[in-house]
Amino acid sequence: MALLPVADAKNRLLENAQTIADTETVPLGEAGGRVLAADLPAKLTQPPFDASAMDGYALKTADAQELGSELRVVGSSAAGHAFEGRVGPGETVRIFTGAPMPEGADSVLIQEDAERLDDDRIRTKFQVTIGRHVRPRGQDFREGEAVISAGTLLDFSHLTVAAAMNHPTLTVYRRPRVAILATGDELVPPGSSPGPAQIIASNTVGVAALVRENGGEVIDLGIVGDRAADITAAIEQAKSVSADILVTLGGASVGDHDLVQSTLKASGMQLDFWRIAMRPGKPLMVGTLGDMQVLGLPGNPVASLVTSMLFLEPLLRILAHLPESRRETEALSAGPLPANDHRQDYLRARLWRGEDGRLVAEPFDKQDSSMMKVFSQADGLIIRPPHAPTLAAGAPCPVLLIRPLS
Protein backbone atom coordinates (compact mmCIF):
# COMPACT_ATOMS: atom_id res chain seq x y z
CA MET A 1 0.00 0.00 0.00
CA ALA A 2 1.41 3.40 -1.03
CA LEU A 3 1.91 6.09 1.59
CA LEU A 4 -1.20 8.27 1.93
CA PRO A 5 -0.75 12.08 2.04
CA VAL A 6 -1.65 13.62 5.41
CA ALA A 7 -4.50 15.73 4.02
CA ASP A 8 -6.05 12.74 2.25
CA ALA A 9 -5.76 10.59 5.36
CA LYS A 10 -7.41 13.25 7.50
CA ASN A 11 -10.24 13.73 5.01
CA ARG A 12 -10.90 9.98 4.85
CA LEU A 13 -10.96 9.74 8.64
CA LEU A 14 -13.36 12.66 9.11
CA GLU A 15 -15.63 12.47 6.07
CA ASN A 16 -18.16 10.15 7.75
CA ALA A 17 -17.70 11.33 11.35
CA GLN A 18 -21.05 12.16 13.00
CA THR A 19 -21.75 14.22 16.08
CA ILE A 20 -23.05 12.22 19.04
CA ALA A 21 -26.81 12.65 19.42
CA ASP A 22 -27.11 10.96 22.84
CA THR A 23 -27.71 13.31 25.77
CA GLU A 24 -27.51 13.08 29.54
CA THR A 25 -28.59 15.24 32.44
CA VAL A 26 -25.84 16.32 34.83
CA PRO A 27 -25.76 18.44 38.00
CA LEU A 28 -25.20 22.12 37.30
CA GLY A 29 -21.85 22.12 39.09
CA GLU A 30 -20.54 19.35 36.83
CA ALA A 31 -21.64 20.89 33.51
CA GLY A 32 -18.56 23.06 32.89
CA GLY A 33 -16.85 22.14 29.62
CA ARG A 34 -19.92 20.27 28.38
CA VAL A 35 -22.03 21.17 25.33
CA LEU A 36 -25.64 22.16 25.95
CA ALA A 37 -28.05 19.90 24.06
CA ALA A 38 -31.16 22.13 23.99
CA ASP A 39 -32.01 25.82 24.32
CA LEU A 40 -32.16 26.74 28.01
CA PRO A 41 -35.17 28.88 29.01
CA ALA A 42 -35.33 30.94 32.19
CA LYS A 43 -37.56 29.46 34.89
CA LEU A 44 -38.13 32.87 36.44
CA THR A 45 -37.73 36.60 35.80
CA GLN A 46 -34.54 38.39 36.87
CA PRO A 47 -34.63 40.66 38.70
CA PRO A 48 -38.02 39.50 39.99
CA PHE A 49 -38.90 43.05 41.07
CA ASP A 50 -37.74 46.62 40.45
CA ALA A 51 -34.56 46.83 42.51
CA SER A 52 -32.18 49.50 43.66
CA ALA A 53 -28.78 49.55 41.96
CA MET A 54 -27.22 51.68 44.73
CA ASP A 55 -27.36 52.47 48.42
CA GLY A 56 -29.47 55.56 48.96
CA TYR A 57 -33.07 56.71 49.25
CA ALA A 58 -36.06 55.53 47.23
CA LEU A 59 -38.43 58.38 46.42
CA LYS A 60 -41.01 59.73 44.02
CA THR A 61 -39.32 62.04 41.52
CA ALA A 62 -42.22 64.48 41.69
CA ASP A 63 -41.37 65.11 45.37
CA ALA A 64 -37.78 66.17 44.60
CA GLN A 65 -38.02 68.51 41.63
CA GLU A 66 -35.87 71.18 43.24
CA LEU A 67 -32.43 70.90 44.82
CA GLY A 68 -32.81 71.12 48.56
CA SER A 69 -36.14 69.30 48.65
CA GLU A 70 -36.78 67.83 52.09
CA LEU A 71 -38.28 64.34 52.55
CA ARG A 72 -39.21 62.31 55.60
CA VAL A 73 -37.63 58.84 55.98
CA VAL A 74 -40.45 56.39 56.77
CA GLY A 75 -38.60 53.05 56.72
CA SER A 76 -35.94 50.97 55.03
CA SER A 77 -35.64 48.32 52.32
CA ALA A 78 -32.74 45.86 52.26
CA ALA A 79 -31.95 42.76 50.21
CA GLY A 80 -34.24 40.06 51.54
CA HIS A 81 -36.19 42.54 53.66
CA ALA A 82 -38.55 44.67 51.60
CA PHE A 83 -40.34 47.77 52.87
CA GLU A 84 -43.94 46.69 53.40
CA GLY A 85 -45.73 50.01 52.97
CA ARG A 86 -46.11 52.62 50.25
CA VAL A 87 -44.11 55.79 49.74
CA GLY A 88 -46.49 58.70 50.15
CA PRO A 89 -46.12 62.39 49.23
CA GLY A 90 -43.00 63.92 50.73
CA GLU A 91 -41.72 60.55 51.95
CA THR A 92 -38.65 58.45 51.21
CA VAL A 93 -37.34 55.01 52.19
CA ARG A 94 -33.73 54.22 53.05
CA ILE A 95 -32.74 51.56 50.49
CA PHE A 96 -29.74 49.33 49.88
CA THR A 97 -28.28 47.75 46.73
CA GLY A 98 -30.39 44.88 45.44
CA ALA A 99 -33.37 45.69 47.65
CA PRO A 100 -36.92 45.86 46.21
CA MET A 101 -38.14 49.31 45.29
CA PRO A 102 -41.07 50.24 47.55
CA GLU A 103 -44.44 50.88 46.00
CA GLY A 104 -44.85 54.52 45.02
CA ALA A 105 -41.09 55.21 44.49
CA ASP A 106 -39.66 55.65 40.99
CA SER A 107 -36.06 56.74 41.58
CA VAL A 108 -33.09 56.36 43.93
CA LEU A 109 -31.11 59.26 45.32
CA ILE A 110 -27.69 57.85 46.19
CA GLN A 111 -26.61 58.38 49.78
CA GLU A 112 -23.74 60.72 48.81
CA ASP A 113 -26.32 63.12 47.35
CA ALA A 114 -28.48 63.21 50.45
CA GLU A 115 -27.95 65.40 53.55
CA ARG A 116 -29.27 63.80 56.73
CA LEU A 117 -31.32 66.18 58.91
CA ASP A 118 -32.81 65.80 62.33
CA ASP A 119 -36.13 64.02 62.90
CA ASP A 120 -35.53 61.36 60.19
CA ARG A 121 -35.46 63.81 57.33
CA ILE A 122 -33.12 64.29 54.34
CA ARG A 123 -32.38 67.18 52.02
CA THR A 124 -31.56 66.45 48.33
CA LYS A 125 -28.25 67.65 46.89
CA PHE A 126 -28.77 66.27 43.35
CA GLN A 127 -31.50 66.60 40.73
CA VAL A 128 -33.16 63.17 40.46
CA THR A 129 -34.81 61.74 37.33
CA ILE A 130 -37.34 58.95 36.92
CA GLY A 131 -35.74 55.48 36.91
CA ARG A 132 -32.29 56.64 38.01
CA HIS A 133 -30.35 53.84 39.77
CA VAL A 134 -33.30 51.46 39.41
CA ARG A 135 -32.95 48.01 37.87
CA PRO A 136 -36.36 47.30 36.34
CA ARG A 137 -38.03 43.93 36.76
CA GLY A 138 -36.86 41.54 34.00
CA GLN A 139 -33.93 43.75 32.97
CA ASP A 140 -31.64 40.70 32.82
CA PHE A 141 -34.05 38.02 31.55
CA ARG A 142 -37.70 37.02 31.70
CA GLU A 143 -39.37 33.71 32.47
CA GLY A 144 -39.49 31.52 29.36
CA GLU A 145 -36.76 33.44 27.54
CA ALA A 146 -34.17 31.16 25.90
CA VAL A 147 -30.99 32.62 27.36
CA ILE A 148 -28.40 29.97 26.38
CA SER A 149 -28.59 28.32 22.96
CA ALA A 150 -28.18 24.63 22.19
CA GLY A 151 -24.63 23.83 21.12
CA THR A 152 -23.04 26.25 23.58
CA LEU A 153 -19.81 25.05 25.18
CA LEU A 154 -20.59 25.83 28.80
CA ASP A 155 -18.13 27.90 30.80
CA PHE A 156 -18.26 29.70 34.16
CA SER A 157 -20.38 32.54 32.79
CA HIS A 158 -23.01 30.20 31.36
CA LEU A 159 -23.19 28.20 34.59
CA THR A 160 -23.71 31.40 36.57
CA VAL A 161 -26.69 32.50 34.49
CA ALA A 162 -28.09 28.95 34.43
CA ALA A 163 -28.02 28.97 38.24
CA ALA A 164 -29.73 32.37 38.29
CA MET A 165 -32.42 30.94 36.00
CA ASN A 166 -33.04 28.29 38.69
CA HIS A 167 -31.70 25.25 36.82
CA PRO A 168 -30.18 22.64 39.20
CA THR A 169 -29.31 20.32 36.29
CA LEU A 170 -28.50 20.73 32.60
CA THR A 171 -29.02 18.44 29.60
CA VAL A 172 -25.78 18.07 27.66
CA TYR A 173 -24.46 15.88 24.87
CA ARG A 174 -22.78 12.68 25.94
CA ARG A 175 -19.01 12.79 25.80
CA PRO A 176 -17.32 10.57 23.19
CA ARG A 177 -16.06 7.40 24.87
CA VAL A 178 -12.44 6.72 23.94
CA ALA A 179 -10.96 3.35 24.90
CA ILE A 180 -7.15 3.43 24.99
CA LEU A 181 -5.11 0.24 24.72
CA ALA A 182 -1.32 0.13 25.04
CA THR A 183 0.37 -2.97 23.63
CA GLY A 184 3.83 -4.44 23.96
CA ASP A 185 5.70 -6.96 26.11
CA GLU A 186 8.23 -4.25 26.94
CA LEU A 187 5.75 -1.91 28.64
CA VAL A 188 5.12 -1.46 32.37
CA PRO A 189 2.99 1.26 34.02
CA PRO A 190 4.44 4.42 35.60
CA GLY A 191 5.65 3.77 39.13
CA SER A 192 6.94 0.29 38.26
CA SER A 193 10.49 -0.99 38.45
CA PRO A 194 11.18 -1.92 34.81
CA GLY A 195 13.15 -5.04 34.05
CA PRO A 196 16.26 -5.15 31.83
CA ALA A 197 14.23 -5.14 28.58
CA GLN A 198 11.31 -3.02 29.73
CA ILE A 199 10.31 0.66 29.51
CA ILE A 200 7.65 2.79 31.15
CA ALA A 201 4.40 3.12 29.19
CA SER A 202 3.98 6.89 28.84
CA ASN A 203 1.85 7.25 25.69
CA THR A 204 -1.46 6.44 27.38
CA VAL A 205 -1.10 9.35 29.81
CA GLY A 206 -0.48 11.94 27.08
CA VAL A 207 -3.15 10.65 24.71
CA ALA A 208 -5.68 10.42 27.55
CA ALA A 209 -4.97 14.04 28.51
CA LEU A 210 -5.55 15.15 24.92
CA VAL A 211 -8.81 13.20 24.85
CA ARG A 212 -10.09 14.93 27.99
CA GLU A 213 -8.99 18.35 26.74
CA ASN A 214 -11.11 17.79 23.64
CA GLY A 215 -14.35 16.74 25.30
CA GLY A 216 -13.80 12.97 25.50
CA GLU A 217 -14.24 10.40 28.25
CA VAL A 218 -11.28 8.05 28.72
CA ILE A 219 -11.66 4.31 29.20
CA ASP A 220 -8.20 2.97 30.03
CA LEU A 221 -7.88 -0.63 28.87
CA GLY A 222 -4.41 -0.84 30.36
CA ILE A 223 -1.41 -2.62 28.86
CA VAL A 224 -1.49 -5.99 27.10
CA GLY A 225 1.43 -8.01 25.83
CA ASP A 226 2.10 -9.15 22.30
CA ARG A 227 -0.43 -11.98 22.39
CA ALA A 228 -3.43 -12.12 20.10
CA ALA A 229 -5.70 -13.60 22.79
CA ASP A 230 -5.00 -10.72 25.18
CA ILE A 231 -5.50 -8.12 22.46
CA THR A 232 -8.78 -9.79 21.47
CA ALA A 233 -10.00 -9.65 25.08
CA ALA A 234 -9.23 -5.92 25.24
CA ILE A 235 -11.09 -5.35 21.97
CA GLU A 236 -14.12 -7.12 23.41
CA GLN A 237 -13.90 -4.93 26.49
CA ALA A 238 -13.96 -1.81 24.30
CA LYS A 239 -17.09 -3.15 22.61
CA SER A 240 -18.75 -3.97 25.94
CA VAL A 241 -18.44 -0.36 27.14
CA SER A 242 -19.77 0.96 23.80
CA ALA A 243 -16.63 2.94 23.03
CA ASP A 244 -17.01 5.39 20.17
CA ILE A 245 -13.28 5.27 19.42
CA LEU A 246 -10.72 2.56 20.13
CA VAL A 247 -7.18 3.95 20.23
CA THR A 248 -4.36 1.42 20.18
CA LEU A 249 -0.79 2.41 20.97
CA GLY A 250 1.93 0.47 19.17
CA GLY A 251 1.87 -2.81 17.26
CA ALA A 252 -0.10 -1.51 14.27
CA SER A 253 2.56 -2.28 11.69
CA VAL A 254 3.17 -5.72 10.18
CA GLY A 255 6.34 -6.93 11.91
CA ASP A 256 6.60 -10.30 13.62
CA HIS A 257 5.60 -8.79 16.97
CA ASP A 258 3.03 -6.31 15.59
CA LEU A 259 -0.22 -8.18 16.20
CA VAL A 260 -2.71 -5.34 16.66
CA GLN A 261 -3.73 -4.91 13.02
CA SER A 262 -4.12 -8.62 12.32
CA THR A 263 -6.03 -9.22 15.56
CA LEU A 264 -8.39 -6.32 14.87
CA LYS A 265 -9.04 -7.67 11.38
CA ALA A 266 -9.78 -11.09 12.86
CA SER A 267 -12.26 -9.38 15.19
CA GLY A 268 -14.07 -7.83 12.22
CA MET A 269 -12.33 -4.49 11.69
CA GLN A 270 -12.64 -2.98 8.22
CA LEU A 271 -9.24 -1.46 7.53
CA ASP A 272 -9.26 1.84 5.63
CA PHE A 273 -5.56 2.71 5.58
CA TRP A 274 -2.46 2.33 7.73
CA ARG A 275 0.57 4.08 6.22
CA ILE A 276 0.86 7.90 6.07
CA ALA A 277 3.43 10.00 4.25
CA MET A 278 4.49 11.84 7.39
CA ARG A 279 7.31 11.99 9.90
CA PRO A 280 6.92 11.17 12.74
CA GLY A 281 3.88 8.90 12.55
CA LYS A 282 4.01 6.82 9.34
CA PRO A 283 2.44 3.60 10.77
CA LEU A 284 -0.98 5.13 11.56
CA MET A 285 -3.90 2.69 11.21
CA VAL A 286 -7.51 3.75 10.59
CA GLY A 287 -10.52 1.45 10.38
CA THR A 288 -13.97 0.71 11.73
CA LEU A 289 -15.24 -2.11 13.92
CA GLY A 290 -19.02 -1.99 13.83
CA ASP A 291 -19.98 1.48 15.09
CA MET A 292 -16.58 1.97 16.68
CA GLN A 293 -13.88 4.01 14.96
CA VAL A 294 -10.41 2.45 15.31
CA LEU A 295 -7.28 4.55 15.41
CA GLY A 296 -3.98 2.69 15.69
CA LEU A 297 -1.27 5.14 16.76
CA PRO A 298 2.48 4.53 16.53
CA GLY A 299 4.34 3.25 19.56
CA ASN A 300 7.00 5.96 19.55
CA PRO A 301 5.87 8.55 22.11
CA VAL A 302 6.31 11.68 20.00
CA ALA A 303 4.75 10.00 16.97
CA SER A 304 1.72 9.02 19.03
CA LEU A 305 1.27 12.60 20.30
CA VAL A 306 1.73 14.22 16.88
CA THR A 307 -0.76 11.85 15.24
CA SER A 308 -3.16 12.42 18.16
CA MET A 309 -3.08 16.16 17.46
CA LEU A 310 -3.53 15.68 13.73
CA PHE A 311 -6.13 12.89 13.63
CA LEU A 312 -7.62 12.02 17.02
CA GLU A 313 -8.28 15.61 18.11
CA PRO A 314 -10.35 16.68 15.06
CA LEU A 315 -12.30 13.40 15.12
CA LEU A 316 -13.09 13.89 18.80
CA ARG A 317 -14.18 17.48 18.34
CA ILE A 318 -16.67 16.51 15.65
CA LEU A 319 -18.18 13.79 17.83
CA ALA A 320 -18.27 16.11 20.86
CA HIS A 321 -19.99 19.05 19.05
CA LEU A 322 -16.89 21.21 19.54
CA PRO A 323 -15.51 23.74 17.03
CA GLU A 324 -12.32 23.04 15.14
CA SER A 325 -9.27 23.67 17.31
CA ARG A 326 -7.39 25.68 14.65
CA ARG A 327 -3.87 24.92 15.83
CA GLU A 328 -2.21 25.87 12.53
CA THR A 329 -0.67 29.33 12.11
CA GLU A 330 2.26 30.93 10.26
CA ALA A 331 5.74 31.83 11.52
CA LEU A 332 9.04 33.00 10.09
CA SER A 333 11.88 30.50 10.02
CA ALA A 334 14.69 31.52 12.40
CA GLY A 335 17.24 29.92 10.08
CA PRO A 336 17.48 28.07 6.78
CA LEU A 337 15.73 24.69 6.51
CA PRO A 338 16.90 21.94 4.16
CA ALA A 339 14.83 20.53 1.32
CA ASN A 340 12.40 17.77 2.32
CA ASP A 341 11.78 14.29 0.91
CA HIS A 342 8.46 12.59 0.08
CA ARG A 343 7.08 12.58 3.66
CA GLN A 344 5.52 15.58 5.41
CA ASP A 345 7.74 16.56 8.32
CA TYR A 346 6.63 17.94 11.69
CA LEU A 347 9.69 19.52 13.31
CA ARG A 348 9.57 20.30 17.03
CA ALA A 349 10.39 23.98 17.43
CA ARG A 350 10.68 26.87 19.83
CA LEU A 351 8.44 29.82 19.06
CA TRP A 352 8.73 33.47 20.04
CA ARG A 353 7.64 36.93 18.91
CA GLY A 354 10.15 39.01 16.96
CA GLU A 355 10.58 42.76 17.38
CA ASP A 356 7.90 43.31 14.74
CA GLY A 357 5.48 41.08 16.64
CA ARG A 358 5.57 38.27 14.09
CA LEU A 359 6.01 34.68 15.20
CA VAL A 360 9.47 33.13 14.75
CA ALA A 361 10.13 29.36 14.74
CA GLU A 362 13.42 27.56 15.36
CA PRO A 363 13.57 23.74 15.18
CA PHE A 364 15.43 21.72 17.78
CA ASP A 365 18.60 20.05 16.54
CA LYS A 366 17.39 16.56 17.53
CA GLN A 367 14.09 15.32 16.10
CA ASP A 368 14.08 11.59 16.94
CA SER A 369 10.48 10.43 17.49
CA SER A 370 11.36 8.74 20.79
CA MET A 371 12.59 11.96 22.45
CA MET A 372 9.80 13.14 24.74
CA LYS A 373 11.78 15.84 26.55
CA VAL A 374 12.21 17.83 23.36
CA PHE A 375 8.49 17.59 22.63
CA SER A 376 7.64 18.90 26.11
CA GLN A 377 9.99 21.86 25.57
CA ALA A 378 8.64 22.68 22.10
CA ASP A 379 5.94 25.29 21.51
CA GLY A 380 4.97 24.10 18.06
CA LEU A 381 5.74 21.93 15.05
CA ILE A 382 7.13 23.39 11.84
CA ILE A 383 5.31 21.73 8.93
CA ARG A 384 7.53 20.83 5.98
CA PRO A 385 5.39 19.60 3.05
CA PRO A 386 6.56 16.71 0.86
CA HIS A 387 9.33 17.70 -1.56
CA ALA A 388 9.50 21.21 -0.08
CA PRO A 389 12.56 23.08 -1.40
CA THR A 390 15.20 24.67 0.82
CA LEU A 391 13.66 27.40 2.96
CA ALA A 392 15.64 30.58 3.55
CA ALA A 393 15.98 32.19 6.96
CA GLY A 394 13.14 34.65 7.54
CA ALA A 395 10.82 32.91 5.07
CA PRO A 396 7.26 32.10 6.20
CA CYS A 397 6.44 28.52 7.17
CA PRO A 398 3.29 26.84 8.52
CA VAL A 399 3.37 25.87 12.21
CA LEU A 400 1.15 23.63 14.32
CA LEU A 401 0.84 24.99 17.86
CA ILE A 402 1.34 22.45 20.64
CA ARG A 403 -0.03 24.85 23.25
CA PRO A 404 -1.27 28.47 23.32
CA LEU A 405 1.52 31.03 23.23
CA SER A 406 2.12 33.05 26.39
* Confidence (pLDDT) at 404: 84
Residue 253 pLDDT > 80: no
My answer on whether omega of the bond before 280 falls inside 30° of 0, hence cis, is yes
The band of 257, judged by pLDDT with boundaries at 50, 70 and 90, is: low
Residue 290 pLDDT > 60: yes
Query: What domains sit in the chain, N to C, each tagged with a CATH number?
Result: 6-21+175-319 (3.40.980.10), 24-45+145-173 (3.90.105.10), 51-135 (2.170.190.11), 328-401 (2.40.340.10)
Residue-wise pLDDT tens digits, 24-61: 999 999 999 999 999 999 999 999 999 999 999 999 99
Residues 361-376 have a mean pLDDT of: 92
Residue-wise pLDDT tens digits, 331-365: 999 999 999 999 999 999 999 999 999 999 999 99
